[in-house]
Amino acid sequence: MDNKAQEITILMVEDDPGHAALIERNLRRAGIMNELKHFDNGRKVIDHLFGVNGDETGTYSALLILLDLNLPEMDGFQVLHRIKSDERTKLIPIIILTTTDNPKEIERCYELGCNVYVSKPVEYENFAESIRKLGLMLAVVKVP
């Protein structure tokens, strides 16, 4: 991976600590050594991006977001809508990473602007393998 790719910060929004640890461990195994910031609910990542009052002017480039849908306080749909409807953040790539494989929810995510939708397999080994494959994809992804 080149130095430019190393500069991308990954924001992982996942409320299940076991899933968060598994995701991080398998991304690392796939060679993804980028900074990874973990948020355990939707409100925290929105506060991180926009400030508590929603008026912060932060740095929104060189980010990639891994987003679960089933989150406390503010669900993934709300987070996705908030990020994609703001001029400052609409170009941030968002990968939905969730156990939900309902076609209506998948369609809704794409309509709201997600870039990739990945269903987390229930079985541990399949989940770990999916995350490793995601890591291989992330190694070649370019972000604005």
pLDDT in tens, the chain (144 residues): 444 444 889 999 999 999 999 999 999 988 899 999 999 999 999 999 988 765 555 666 678 999 999 999 999 999 999 999 999 899 999 999 998 889 999 999 999 999 999 988 778 788 888 888 888 788 776 776
CATH code where residue 106 lies: 3.40.50.2300
Torsion of CA 68, 16, 120, 97, to 10 degrees: 20
User: Whose CA is closest to 8, among 83, 91, 80, 98?
Assistant: 91
Q: What is the pLDDT of residue 1?
A: 40
**Coil, helix or strand for 78?**
helix
Please check whether residue 35 lies inside any domain of the structure: yes
The domain containing residue 67 runs over which residues? 3-138
Task: Give, as one character, the DSSP assignment of residue 62.
Answer: S
pLDDT of residue 18: 92
Does 144 fall in a domain?
Answer: no
Give me the residue label for tokens 């399949």.
Answer: 126
Task: Give the number of domains in the chain.
Answer: 1
The pLDDT of residue 87 is: 92
Write the single-letter amino acid at 111. E
**In 3D, which of 54, 135, 141 has the Cα closest to residue 89?**
54
Single-letter amino acid, residue 27: L
Helix intervals (H) in the chain: 3-6, 17-29, 42-50, 76-84, 103-112, 124-138
Tell me, yes or no, whether 36 lies in a domain: yes
Structure tokens at 98: 């969730």
Residue 45 counted as domain residue: yes
pTM of the predicted model, to two decimals? 0.87
143 in a domain, yes or no? no
Q: Is residue 47 part of a domain?
A: yes
Sign of the CA dihedral running 76, 81, 82, 86: positive
Task: Confirm whether 124 is domain-assigned.
Answer: yes
- Say if residues 107 and 117 touch (Cβ distance below 8 Å): no
